[in-house]
Chain A
Amino acid sequence: MDLTRRHLLAAAAATPFALAARSGLAADPWRRTVVLVELNGGNDGLNTVIPYADPLYRSLRPKLAVPRDQILTLDEHLGLHPKLERLMPLWIDGQMAIALGVGYPNPNLSHFRSIDIWETATEAERFAEDGWIVRLLKESRPAASLPAEGVVLGRNDPGPLSGEGARIVALRRLKALRKRNRKPLVENIGTANPGLAHVVDIQNRMDIAERRLVERNLQAVALPGEFPKHDFGQQMEIAARLIAGGTGVPVIKCALGGFDTHGSQLYKHPKLLDQLAESLGAFSRAMKSAGLWDRVLVMTYAEFGRRPHENASGGTDHGTAAPHFLLGGRVRGGFYGEQPPLDRLQAKNLARRLDFREIYAAVARDWWGLKADFLKARALPLIS
């Protein structure tokens, strides 16, 4: 997308008063925010939502099985890893959905290919250039007055936000928003040199978005309580500030890395789950106290789950289906799908019970009110 005079004019026209902008967006499907949380590396689903009642769980996991007395009971079959305790209040309040056995047909066990499939929402045998959010943006554009259509926090990979034409800002720290005036934007330089056009495009978008975000003074937004100081906690804090600060950014992508636990999982995995739950807990508190919890949907995703059999390195290898979480004031809490049976593995891996596109379809249709025909899936009734 070229950012020429038209956008400059739009930028100039954007009112600095958040409330005025918000009321003008009442009919805009993009007024609700989705926070995407990538569990980078492939999370071990069996040690996240644990089928504790199945004796096979313990026999597949002689070293890695979580002791029964530590598991947080969800129902008579399933329980949460103890480090996810901070998510329990949301579960009890019916604001957390757990989608079980999420995957896709003909699973690919390569990190890169599989995350591509998740991020572009194509069949395993087909390729698409654009991320699924960018594909949605092609159906309907958010108001040009929004500072950005998506913000990428943490790891630099835009994932579902990658592709042509989206107005994306990558932020590591709010401090990166600098107040100094930049040089004038460069005019559209054409397409003969796509690399240079990309540099110019990013520079222009960044300049526009930064000018607008600076006006919001996000560092001054008051949030209740503290966010964790680790990288993922800081990402969730920035996400909370972006939302509470009234920026209206419809998609915020966060990432927590390190889930590729081929070894020493007993040491690594609980730390990651702890960081996840601690940060999501702080985020939900902040949103509730700002009265915005009904306008926010948090969803996790990852390239795959991990193999039910633990390996000899105290870890787990690449797997297939896994559980994922959706959190928010309008989420219909409870289980969706069912736990894949441990006695009927497919090529040593868990059999899929839900297609991830059924979750995307719920987000696209019931959260944003879009059609999203390309998903070719029914929408799970996740959202009230």
Chain B
Amino acid sequence: MSADAVSLPGLAWHENGQSSLSGSLLRLERAVDRIFLSWAGTWSAEEYRFPTFIAARDLARLDYFHSFPHLVTFPIVLDPDDENLRRFTTGEPLADDGSVRLAATSPIRDVLTPAACYHFYAHFCGQAFAAPQYLTTRNTCFRREAYYAPLRRQWGFSMREIVCIGSAAEVEAFLETTRERVADFFGRIGLPIAWAHATDPFFNPTRNPKYVAQRLEPVKTEMVFGDDLAIGSVNFHRSYMGEAFSMRRGDEEAYSGCVAFGLERWLYAITSHFGPEPGAWPDLGVSDP
């Protein structure tokens, strides 16, 4: 059974690649997030709430701007110089096509969060851990795309992540156990999901060594609904974050991994497979708050 996402009760679609939720669809979104939190709870994961922006300097440690320039979204402000602001206000700030006629802008030092877990590595930069860290956070993430589709591909979307920073063995055990838990859940509610190796969406991938390395040694496994919709992923960073942010676990560089869920895509998968009526949705096994 499939549903046209645009006509889903409780969904208002915005042509700028974002959606508003209300009613039963918003309640489903909250229930889905409670499932994620229950999985985080099995690791006694500490929950964090991070801001919308992340420092460009932090993303540069990940070589983000070379790897994903096509995805990045910057917050931009006008140069506060009085003359510059006067110039902006005395013209017509908005063009007929809806674009803003900017005056001079201030230097950009921040990025709208592209992945929820990046904040953890910046937050724990330089730290040495005596025990594995289990963490969870949720953020609105922003990725510029060539096109947008309701719930499936959005400029702004919600991402919940469960993260482990620890030794290689600790991170691998975390990823495997969490993956089994998620797979069991899909089986229990009857949502058809295929697990598939994937690579990150690098710019100019064949000239990017990280893309080639991901092809050779897969570190990303996606939960794929339908033909090609990844509603989540299991990611083994090896020591990449540990090195980039000088994190240590015992005497070694810290390893890390994350399990990431795209909430809007979960809504798409559930309403597409079970139908738009809440009565047809499966019991997700989480109680109302």
Do these two chains interact? no
